[in-house]
Amino acid sequence: MFKKVLIANRGEIAIRIMRACRELDVSTVAVYSDADKNALFPKYADEAYHIGPSPSSQSYLNMDKIIEVAKESGAEGIHPGYGFLSENPVFAKKCKAAGIVFIGPSSEVIEKMGSKIAARKLMIEAGVPVVPGYDKAIEDVDEALEMADSIGYPVMIKASAGGGGIGMKVVYSKDDFKSSLVSIQSVAQSAFGDPTVFIEKYVEEPRHIEFQILADSHGNTVYVSDRECSIQRRHQKLMEEAPSPVLSPELRKKMGEAAVKAAKSIGYENAGTVEFLYSKGDFYFLEVNTRLQVEHCITELVTGIDLAKQQLLIACGKELPFKQEDIKITGHAFECRINAEDPLNDFAPSPGKITRYRSPGGPGVRIDSGVYMGYVIPPFYDSMVAKLCTWGETREEAISRMKRALYEFVIVGVTTNIPFHEAVLSNEAFVRGDLTTHFIEDNNILEAVKEVVEHEKGKGSTLASVLVNNSRKTAAATAAVSAYVNAAKQQSNCQQTK
């Protein structure tokens, strides 16, 4: 095992990885920017190094600086977390050249999956179902129009270098095709420096279902569990669950085996995720995420497998300690991403000081967070405060635990999206497991959020309101009660009950 690992990330995921390191007796090195001087993760680490100013371009994206710190501190491996440098093939390559293990797949694999056209082509060759379309870059409009005609409208134009929802557009008719093509090409050029686009059939109202995979360097590849990630807004996932409520055991096995086939065909090593679109019993490969994802925790909850730990073991050349048939899904888990953002103001970020904080606990609750009471959430990075996950023997139990945990969560000082989660959890279609990527709009969730927010102005609807809202009145009442109790105690000879 490594003696020392550098974590090239911040916040909760830096802590998540350091937790795995601690359990494996690996020393940890944190790197942090100006804005993160007072964050929890540099304090949690065994060593912490300042790497630059707050903007990530000058700190968390500074490859050479991070590698220099790794070398100076004697770290043998770098874990990139998610975001930042985690899917950057240049960084993976630079680590290798510096004699440091990049804890993730090879630079070549990251690069291959970065091109959506190449990924499509490879999956077709491997026999993994893809959305009907063309695995060919569009070269001229007339040829593209013919392709669109033969696929049948609506079609989707996608940037080959895109992913995660940037650089794509639905086209409903021939008349809009040319202007959409030109606009996506220009978005692709400015966002990715590559104007290459391709087209696919547009799958309407699909579900987003992804499969976690693990692959070691001995040729063993397994699928760990599936996750349903349909509850998202503008490609930002907000709530996920494992397993997907729509898959039968047979379809789960079929999709899981397709995910393994996808991984094996590209020589994948370490943890990864194969994303699929699901519609009416059919599934289509979408992309491979070559990193540990935000929502990995729910897979851990339903399988008992520590994915971060397995990543470290795989990177050291260890063989997976289980086979496919050993992996069992037990119960059901949800993740709510608790963000400092205002769902009633277009989800605008709400950075600032957390003046009171108390996280939920009790049966079936897991919290991954990098904040504490008094911490100031900086405006430079994403607005996630905590990942709140619950586990239950059944989906219903996991839902009621999530509602209970959200009731308990006290976060004062910044606006959070807790009411959004409460609105989703009370929605009938959601409770039925009736989800699509358009769930929020189709179910008028924002209207429901307004009602939740209004309701929570009333005392007692959340633990926060009990503890904080009427703090003066509560304090006065508490003082009066204790004065009364003390007086009663003095007057009576009865023994105090314990």
Nearest to 269 by CA among 288, 254, 253: 288
Do the bridges between strand 270-279 and strand 282-289 make them parallel or antiparallel, or are there none, so unpaired? antiparallel
Of the two residues 203 and 336, which places its CB atom closer to ligand MV4 in the complex?
203
Q: Which is nearer to ligand MV4, 339 or 436 (CB)?
A: 436
User: Quick check: 8 and 79 in contact, CB under 8 A?
Assistant: yes
Active site residues: 291
Pick the closer one to ligand MV4 by CB: 289 or 350: 289
DSSP class of residue 153? Answer: S
Nearer to ligand MV4, 101 or 122 (CB): 122
Q: Pairing mode, if any, of strands 221-233 and 207-215?
A: antiparallel
Q: Between 109 and 156, name the residue whose CB sits nearer to ligand MV4.
A: 156
Phi, psi of 245 (to 5 degrees): -70, -10
Omega of the bond prior to 154 within 30 degrees of 0, cis?
yes
Residue 233: its H or E element: strand 221-233
Residue 213's Cβ-side half-sphere holds a number of Cα atoms within 13 Å equal to: 32
Question: What SS3 class is residue 321?
Answer: coil
- Which residues have a Cβ under 8 Å from the Cβ of 459 and sit 6 or more positions away? 465, 466, 469, 470
**How many helices and strands, by DSSP H and E, does the chain display?**
18, 22
Whose Cβ is closer to ligand MV4: residue 95's or residue 274's?
274
Backbone φ and ψ of 438, nearest 5°? -105, 20
Nearer Cβ to ligand MV4 (208/296):
208
Q: Kindly state the smallest distance separating residue 319's Cβ from ligand MV4, in Å.
A: 32
Rounded least distance, CB 286 to ligand MV4, Å: 5
Q: Bridge partners of 273? A: 212, 289
Cβ distance to ligand MV4 smaller for residue 50 or 201: 201
Rounded Cα distance, 360 and 368, in Å: 11
Residue 197 CB, shortest distance to ligand MV4, in Å, is 13
Taking the complex as a whole, the smallest distance from the CB of residue 207 to ligand MV4 amounts, in Å, to 8
- For the beta carbon of residue 321, count every other beta carbon within 10 angstroms: 11
- Side by side, which strands form the sheet with 197-201? 166-171, 155-163, 197-201
Contact 31, 51 (CB under 8 A): yes
Residues lying near ligand MV4 in the complex (CB under 6 A): 131, 156, 163-165, 200-203, 206, 208, 232, 235, 277, 286-287, 437
Q: Among the residues of 107-200, which ranges form H helices?
A: 107-114, 116-126, 141-151, 174-192
**Least distance CB 390 / ligand MV4 (angstroms):** 22
Which residues lie below 8 Å from residue 232, measured CB to CB, with a gap of 6+? Answer: 208, 238, 437, 440
Minimum CB separation from ligand MV4 for residue 284, in Å? 7
We find the least distance from the C-beta atom of residue 240 to ligand MV4, in angstroms, to be 11
- Residue closer to ligand MV4 by CB (options 278, 375) is 278
Q: How far is the CB of 206 from ligand MV4 (least distance, A)?
A: 6
> How many C-alpha atoms does 309 have within 13 Å on its Cβ side?
13
Residue-wise DSSP of 414-482:
S--SHHHHHHHHT-HHHHHT---TTHHHHTTHHHHHHHHHHHTTSTTSSHHIIIIITHHHHHHHHHHHH
Which of 87, 476, 25 is CA-nearest to residue 293? 87
Taking the complex as a whole, the smallest distance from the CB of residue 203 to ligand MV4 amounts, in Å, to: 4
Q: Which residue has the tokens 């397995």?
A: 310
